């Protein structure tokens, strides 16, 4: 069989690409020509197709009085128009010179390319009359249409084991009851459908919207076939009538698409009443009906339909039946919709040469999609090749033959460096000096090697050229255009590469072009520098050095960036897609990044994505703004929209759109003079509106309010943006937080143009699903393995211990940090093992770190200062001995210590109620009995340091307005921007002891502040920020009713035991508390701990403790303290009283002992280990300094303390 020539026709909007590939032996290998057809030409084509139908009708072709000659004349007119008007002249000439058959491939099945007619030949000829047409290369086998069902059965027998997926069709037949012919046609059609096509029929009154939804939900049809009346106008939108005054419109399709597993194909078969004007007899009527059908199809596509096939005018019912039977069989066999329609059109036109049915059906939507898939091919029906007609990457560069197309990757990389250099120098042009500077920046390149051979530093040469050129005045968004000479140099570089026999335009080709002309700025500057350009070129050509493409800066990252920046600089391929694009320089193309998998994937958020697409498709106010707290995923939702646009999983109105992110900082950066900012923003908006396919995304949209406004009250960025947002001319997506959205709400005009979409924080279950979806990204980035328990811990622990942050961001952040920490530890361990010369790393060292739940808990502990992990053995021992160590510091309050210790142990064991503080205690007792000391001891013993004690003197809050000092001033008051004293400290150190000293002295309304703290473990400051208070131990001290402690009971009660007396005292104290505090405040206190007055023996023990502290300080100075019992007795006598407790002891010790001792130390030059002996003589302390005993070893601190400690 003779090898055919292949003509590929690719259409994108009004842009057509024609590529002709000739078989071996022809004049050329093949070429491609790109043509941008005007709207007028396409309108002529539409009218010509209408004329075909009109001529067929007026000639009686639609009445059964068909004449093949008449139809042939109509097809000649259309074929000549296609050849003369749509094919460019070079292609016409190439087709006339063909000596082989012609095969067509196209993605436009709605145009009858098979009718291409060349009138210049004598006689004229149809170019593709007897050959297959379409995107497949196999020879077409003519179908036997005498019995359509027989063809299907024969094909099934031939295919043997080939299995086709079951296709279900839901028929809506004659819903209005006006067209009985529709019922007959569908009934006949159902008898001819193959077994692979199942049918479900709704007749007349059954064909209503409710029944349609129920049937679709239960049967999941792939095709919805409407056989009824023409579209009606409902307002400004066309709809299809259903029974019961219901209708089939875009909303119905949207509802159906939610319940179906796949986007359905909508087939529209129209019927007319005999009294109505026949379609085709009136061009205006036909045009209106075409427009209505097109609008209806587009609305269906945007609402969830996969594709729409519509009948343009009524046809012979028998031909329509045959057409549908063949079309549905091809669809069931897994053929793409465009190819199925083409095959069916060709089969019907060949079998019935005098019928116009083939031209009546048009496809709306993507012609390359398949409703079903099949896995086996046969000789009679081979599978189509994987050829995407819409993929420009498979189309060769225009005009230039494929064999001589230069490889410009290296040239693009050099241009990108030169462009960066020109922008750095604030130039608005790209010249040959910038190209030469780029060549000198190529590490390891022949230009650097040649310069070094001439004893010149490449950096020195660059600096001289920069100094000679000087700095320009162009701003960052000024278009950079190549000079005429620069264009000529680049063309010369390509010719140099071809001459050298290389397809790559490499460094030598570029250098020869830049320096080989013998004139120009670069040539002159090098000459003045003492470099002979001719000699330099020779050295470059002879050099063995070469800069690899992979090592050129930015070449691998973005090889296409330069042609988008510099229009027309790369010659025939027009490389500059972006032209003078301000958006390309100031924005970030999210759709481009999504196509290369550079964006964070979106998991879930179907509701928000749907609302986002729905808002963008509105006629007016189509500008959504995502409102949500930081970290809930607003930006990721926009990334998800970009991914869906790239994948095509969006309505038709959003397909092919470019989603570009802008920031206020990029708009402002580099604007020095008044008016530059406004001009830049206007350029951005003008470009976005002009292109028509750009959606802007402005994160932190509230920053536009006031941006660019001068002191004289000029317009800001929001004021410039508002006119563009009005009327739906520009689509814009914003994002902000609820707090910052208030700034936008103040501008009523701006707020009116936006449609808020609330983005709530996901639930922990949804957050866990998100982390499971992102697990592979973290594992690949950190080279780790993450367990399921680690994911669960990241979610639940971040919810519990990071309440100020939001899911899923806080869980992702914790997981990311745990992976990084584990990786560093793993590498350190690996280096240590290698240093220890381990022989078998496989047994002693794991291949990669494994992230577990304890690692997540360790990260949480580090970030919050809260021990999240389960208590270890050391900590368990410390908790069990907590009461013993507290009793060593707090004397005489064993009951209070025991009750506090029990509460701490319950909390640390994880058994305390969730969200409540670790403990809430009210310490009651007279002054000087150890209340504050116990709080200080708790901070030191439980949290490791006295620094974990936050002390609040409640006597400072005697006025109710003083509460603002604790949580911050309310809006409008001085200090509103400052944090509260309590909330600020608690936010920085949530794991602490909070001591509310002398709580009864505060204003009663201040106590209301602590109701939420003691009940829910949170505290809200004046700015609305929530502070975590559930990990703190809250201690309040008070002297309320303590005057009754230690008082002798009345004579009638002395017979009672001591326990009964203490209980009666406790009851009296609680009664006094109820008189002072409200019940809701007392009910939130875990325990009221009573501190009893101290006796003399306990005071003597406290004196010994304080003497131990003094002995330790003296030991640091090289002095050893010895105090006998008489000294202790005297200090206790002077420093303790029943009314003031042990608080005066410290002052007495300082007055009687510390001050005199300090004078002795300063006046005398005491030897090391000098002994200080203290005793009481006549109610006075006697201090004696003695030389250290020579026969004694130097004592340590423990010996000094043992010597000084006296107990009762």
Q: How does DSSP assign 807-839, residue by residue? A: TTHHHHHHHHHHHHHHHHHHHHHHHHHHHTT-S
Residue ranges, comma separated, of all CATH 3.40.50.2300 domains in the chain are: 151-373
pLDDT digits (tens, 9 = 90+) for 1036-1078: 988 887 666 655 545 454 545 556 666 777 777 788 888 888 8
CATH top class, domain 764-839 = mainly alpha
Nearest CA among 688, 687, 684, 729 for reference residue 708: 684
Residue ranges, comma separated, of all CATH 1.10.1780.10 domains in the chain are: 408-573
Which CATH fold topology does 1096-1204 show? Helicase, Ruva Protein; domain 3 (1.10.8)
pLDDT at residue 360, rounded to an integer: 78
pLDDT at residue 157, rounded to an integer: 41
Peptide bond into 123 cis (omega under 30): yes
Q: Outline where DSSP puts E strands in 434-512.
A: 481-482
**141 pLDDT exceeds 60?**
no
With 0-12 / 13-18 / 19 or more C-beta atoms within 10 angstroms meaning exposed / middle / buried, residue 447 is buried
**907 pLDDT exceeds 50?**
yes
Assign residue 944 a region: left if phi > 0, alpha if psi is -120 to 50, beta otherwise? Answer: left
238 contacts: CB under 8 Å, gap ≥ 6: 231, 232, 292, 293, 295, 296, 299
Residue ranges, comma separated, of all CATH 1.10.8.60 domains in the chain are: 764-839, 1096-1204
Other CB atoms within 10 Å distance of the CB of residue 124: 14
Q: Who wins on pLDDT, 1 or 686? A: 686
Gap between the Cα atoms of 194 and 167, Å rounded: 10
What kind and span of H or E run contains 614?
Answer: helix 606-616
Using 50, 70 and 90 to split pLDDT, how confident is the model at 1089?
confident
With 0-12 / 13-18 / 19 or more C-beta atoms within 10 angstroms meaning exposed / middle / buried, residue 146 is exposed
How large a percentage of the chain has pLDDT more than 70?
74
In this structure, of 764-768, 793-797, 995-999, 1133-1137, the range with the lowest mean pLDDT score is 1133-1137
CB 324 within 8 A of CB 360: no
CB 1106 within 8 A of CB 1145: yes
Gap between the Cα atoms of 572 and 617, Å rounded: 37
CATH top class, domain 582-758 = alpha beta
Using 50, 70 and 90 to split pLDDT, how confident is the model at 223?
very high
pLDDT at residue 161, rounded to an integer: 38
Q: Is 630 helix (H, G, I), strand (E, B) or coil?
A: coil
The verdict on domain 894-1090 having CATH code 3.40.50.300 is: yes
With 0-12 / 13-18 / 19 or more C-beta atoms within 10 angstroms meaning exposed / middle / buried, residue 981 is middle
pLDDT at residue 872, rounded to an integer: 57
pLDDT at residue 702, rounded to an integer: 82
Residue ranges, comma separated, of all CATH 3.40.50.300 domains in the chain are: 582-758, 894-1090
CATH top class, domain 151-373 = alpha beta
Superfamily of domain 408-573: Clp, N-terminal domain (1.10.1780.10)
125 contacts: CB under 8 Å, gap ≥ 6: 117, 118
CB 1046 within 8 A of CB 1092: yes
Nearest CA among 613, 627, 600 for reference residue 809: 600
557 contacts: CB under 8 Å, gap ≥ 6: none
pLDDT at residue 224, rounded to an integer: 92
Question: Rounded to whole angstroms, what are the CA distances from 180 to 108, 173, 186, 203?
Answer: 34, 9, 10, 10
- How do 755-758 and 624-627 pair as beta strands? parallel
What kind and span of H or E run contains 240?
Answer: strand 237-241
Gap between the Cα atoms of 1049 and 1054, Å rounded: 6
680 contacts: CB under 8 Å, gap ≥ 6: 475, 477, 582, 586, 667, 671
**241 pLDDT exceeds 80?**
yes
**315 pLDDT exceeds 70?**
yes
Q: What is the mean pLDDT of residues 1105-1133?
A: 80
Gap between the Cα atoms of 233 and 254, Å rounded: 19
pLDDT at residue 1172, rounded to an integer: 81
Gap between the Cα atoms of 1149 and 1153, Å rounded: 5
Q: Is 636 helix (H, G, I), strand (E, B) or coil?
A: helix
Using 50, 70 and 90 to split pLDDT, how confident is the model at 43?
low
Model-level pTM? 0.49
pLDDT at residue 26, rounded to an integer: 56
Question: Cα torsion for 334, 335, 338, 343, to the nearest 10°?
Answer: -140
Gap between the Cα atoms of 979 and 346, Å rounded: 78
pLDDT digits (tens, 9 = 90+) for 45-71: 666 666 665 554 444 444 344 444 555
**Helices 484-499 and 409-424 sit at what angle, rounded to 10 degrees?**
160
**Tokens at 824, concatenated:** 């560093």
The distance of Cα 765 from the centroid of its chain, to the nearest Å, equals: 19
CB 193 within 8 A of CB 328: yes
178 contacts: CB under 8 Å, gap ≥ 6: 229, 271, 273
Gap between the Cα atoms of 697 and 616, Å rounded: 12
Q: What is the mean pLDDT of the chain?
A: 74
- How do 30-36 and 1180-1186 pair as beta strands? unpaired
| DSSP category for residue 993 | E
Using 50, 70 and 90 to split pLDDT, how confident is the model at 566?
very low
Gap between the Cα atoms of 723 and 720, Å rounded: 7
Give the gyration radius of the chain's Cα atoms: 44
| DSSP category for residue 1053 | G
CB 173 within 8 A of CB 269: no
Peptide bond into 1002 cis (omega under 30): no
Using 50, 70 and 90 to split pLDDT, how confident is the model at 752?
confident
**Helices 68-81 and 39-58 sit at what angle, rounded to 10 degrees?**
180
Gap between the Cα atoms of 897 and 398, Å rounded: 89
pLDDT digits (tens, 9 = 90+) for 957-1005: 888 788 888 888 777 677 777 778 888 888 888 878 899 988 888 888 8
């Amino acid at each position: 069989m003779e090898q055919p020539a292949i003509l590929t026709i690719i259409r994108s909007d009004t842009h057509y690409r024609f590529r002709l590939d000739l078989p071996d032996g022809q004049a050329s290998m093949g070429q491609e020509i790109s043509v941008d057809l005007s709207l007028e030409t396409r309108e002529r084509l539409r009218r010509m197709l209408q004329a075909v139908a009109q001529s067929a009708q007026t000639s009686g072709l639609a009445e059964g009085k068909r004449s093949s000659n008449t139809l042939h004349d109509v097809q000649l007119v259309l074929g000549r128009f296609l050849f003369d008007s749509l094919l460019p002249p070079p292609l016409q000439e190439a087709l006339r010179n063909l000596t082989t058959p012609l095969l067509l491939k196209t993605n436009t099945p709605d145009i009858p390319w098979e009718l291409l007619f060349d009138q210049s030949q004598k006689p004229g000829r149809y170019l593709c009359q007897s050959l297959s047409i379409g995107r497949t290369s196999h020879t077409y086998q003519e179908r036997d249409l005498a019995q359509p069902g027989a063809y299907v059965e024969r094909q099934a027998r031939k295919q043997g084991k080939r299995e086709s997926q079951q296709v279900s069709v839901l028929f809506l037949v004659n819903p209005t009851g006006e067209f009985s012919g529709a019922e007959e046609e569908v009934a006949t059609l159902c008898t001819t459908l193959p077994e692979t096509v199942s049918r479900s029929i709704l007749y007349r009154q059954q064909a209503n919207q409710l029944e349609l939804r129920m049937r679709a939900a239960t049967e999941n049809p792939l095709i919805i076939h409407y056989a009824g009346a023409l579209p009606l106008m409902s307002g400004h939108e066309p709809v299809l009538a259903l029974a019961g005054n219901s209708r089939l419109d875009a909303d119905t399709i949207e509802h159906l698409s939610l319940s179906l597993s796949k986007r359905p194909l909508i087939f529209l078969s129209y019927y007319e009443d005999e009294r109505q004007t026949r379609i085709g007899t009136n061009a205006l009527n036909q045009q209106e009906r075409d427009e209505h059908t097109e609008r209806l199809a587009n609305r269906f596509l945007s609402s969830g339909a996969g594709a729409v096939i519509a009948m343009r005018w009524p046809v012979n019912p028998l031909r329509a039946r045959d057409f549908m039977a063949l079309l549905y069989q091809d669809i069931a066999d897994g053929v793409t919709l465009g190819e199925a329609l083409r095959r069916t059109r060709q089969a019907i036109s060949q079998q019935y040469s005098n019928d116009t049915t083939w031209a009546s059906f048009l496809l709306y939507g993507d012609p390359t999609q398949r409703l079903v898939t099949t896995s086996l091919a046969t000789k009679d029906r081979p599978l189509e090749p994987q050829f995407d007609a819409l993929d420009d990457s498979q189309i060769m560069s225009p005009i230039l033959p494929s064999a001589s197309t230069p490889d410009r990757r290296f040239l693009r990389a050099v241009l990108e460096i030169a462009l960066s250099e020109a922008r750095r120098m604030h130039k608005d042009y790209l010249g040959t000096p910038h190209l030469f500077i780029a060549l000198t920046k190529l590490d390891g390149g022949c230009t650097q090697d040649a310069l070094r051979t001439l004893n010149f530093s490449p950096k020195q040469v660059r600096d001289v050229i920069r100094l000679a050129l000087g700095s320009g005045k162009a701003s960052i968004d000024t278009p950079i255009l190549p000079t005429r000479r620069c264009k000529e140099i680049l063309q010369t570089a390509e010719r140099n590469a071809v001459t050298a026999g290389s397809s790559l335009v490499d460094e030598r080709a570029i250098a020869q072009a830049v320096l080989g002309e013998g004139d120009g700025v670069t040539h002159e500057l090098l000459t003045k520098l003492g470099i002979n350009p001719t000699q330099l070129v020779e050295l470059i050509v002879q050099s063995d050095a070469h800069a690899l493409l992979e090592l050129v800066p930015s070449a691998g990252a973005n090889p296409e960036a330069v042609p988008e920046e510099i229009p027309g600089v790369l010659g025939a391929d027009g490389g500059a897609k972006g032209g003078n694009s301000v958006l390309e320089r100031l924005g970030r193309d999210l759709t481009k990044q999504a196509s290369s998998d550079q964006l964070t994937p979106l998991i879930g958020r179907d509701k928000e994505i749907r609302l986002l697409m729905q808002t963008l498709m509105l006629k007016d106010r189509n500008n959504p703004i995502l409102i949500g707290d930081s970290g809930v995923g607003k930006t990721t939702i926009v990334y998800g929209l970009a991914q869906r646009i790239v994948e095509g999983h969006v309505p038709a109105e959003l397909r092919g759109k470019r989603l570009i992110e802008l920031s206020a900082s990029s708009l402002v950066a580099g604007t020095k003079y008044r008016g530059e900012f406004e001009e830049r923003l206007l350029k951005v908006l003008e470009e976005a509106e002009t292109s028509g396919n750009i959606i802007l995304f402005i994160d932190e949209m509230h920053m536009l309010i006031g941006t660019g406004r001068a002191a004289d009250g000029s317009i800001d960025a929001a004021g410039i943006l508002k006119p563009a947002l009005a009327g739906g001319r520009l689509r814009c997506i914003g994002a902000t937080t609820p707090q910052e959205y208030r700034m936008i709400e103040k501008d009523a005009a701006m707020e009116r143009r936006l449609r808020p979409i609330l983005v709530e924080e996901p639930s922990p279950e949804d957050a866990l699903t998100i982390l499971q979806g992102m697990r592979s990204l973290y594992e690949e980035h950190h080279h780790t393995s993450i367990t399921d328990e680690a994911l669960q811990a990241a979610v639940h622990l971040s919810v519990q211990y990071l309440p100020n942050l939001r899911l899923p961001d806080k869980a992702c952040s914790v997981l990311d940090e745990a992976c990084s920490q584990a990786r560093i530890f793993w590498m350190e361990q690996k280096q240590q093992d290698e240093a220890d010369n381990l022989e078998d790393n496989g047994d002693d060292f794991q291949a990669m770190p494994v992230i577990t739940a304890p690692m997540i808990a360790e990260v949480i502990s580090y970030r919050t200062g809260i021990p999240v992990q389960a208590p270890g053995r050391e900590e368990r021992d410390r908790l069990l001995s907590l009461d013993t160590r507290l009793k060593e510091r707090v004397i005489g309050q064993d009951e209070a210590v025991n009750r506090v210790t029990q509460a701490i142990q319950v909390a640390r064991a994880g058994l305390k109620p969730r969200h409540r503080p670790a403990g809430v205690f009210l310490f009651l007792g007279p002054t000087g009995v150890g209340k504050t000391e116990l709080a200080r001891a708790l901070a030191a013993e439980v949290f490791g340091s006295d620094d974990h004690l936050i002390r609040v003197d409640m006597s400072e809050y005697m006025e109710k307005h003083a509460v603002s000092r604790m949580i911050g001033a309310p809006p409008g008051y001085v200090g509103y921007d400052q944090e509260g004293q309590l909330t600020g400290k608690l936010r920085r150190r949530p794991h602490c002891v909070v001591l509310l000293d002398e709580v009864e002295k505060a204003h009663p309304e201040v106590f209301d502040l602590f109701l939420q703290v003691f009940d829910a473990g949170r505290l809200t400051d004046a700015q609305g920020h929530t502070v975590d208070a559930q990990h703190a131990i809250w201690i309040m001290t008070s002297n309320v009713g303590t005057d009754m402690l230690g008082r002798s009971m009345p004579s009638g009660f002395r017979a009672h035991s001591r326990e009964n007396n203490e209980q009666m005292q406790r009851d009296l104290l609680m009664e006094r508390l109820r008189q002072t505090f409200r019940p809701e405040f007392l009910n939130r206190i875990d325990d009221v701990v009573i501190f009893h007055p101290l006796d003399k023996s306990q005071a003597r023990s406290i004196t010994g403790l304080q003497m131990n502290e003094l002995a330790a300080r003296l030991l640091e100075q090289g002095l050893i303290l010895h105090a006998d019992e008489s000294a202790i007795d005297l200090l206790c006598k002077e420093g303790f009283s029943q009314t003031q407790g042990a608080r005066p002891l410290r002052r007495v010790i300082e007055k009687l002992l510390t001050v005199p001792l300090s004078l002795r130390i300063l006046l005398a030059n005491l030897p090391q280990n000098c002994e200080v002996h203290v005793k009481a003589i006549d109610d006075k302390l006697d201090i004696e300094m003695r030389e250290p005993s020579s026969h004694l070893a130097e004592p340590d601190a423990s010996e000094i303390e043992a010597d000084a400690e006296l107990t009762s």
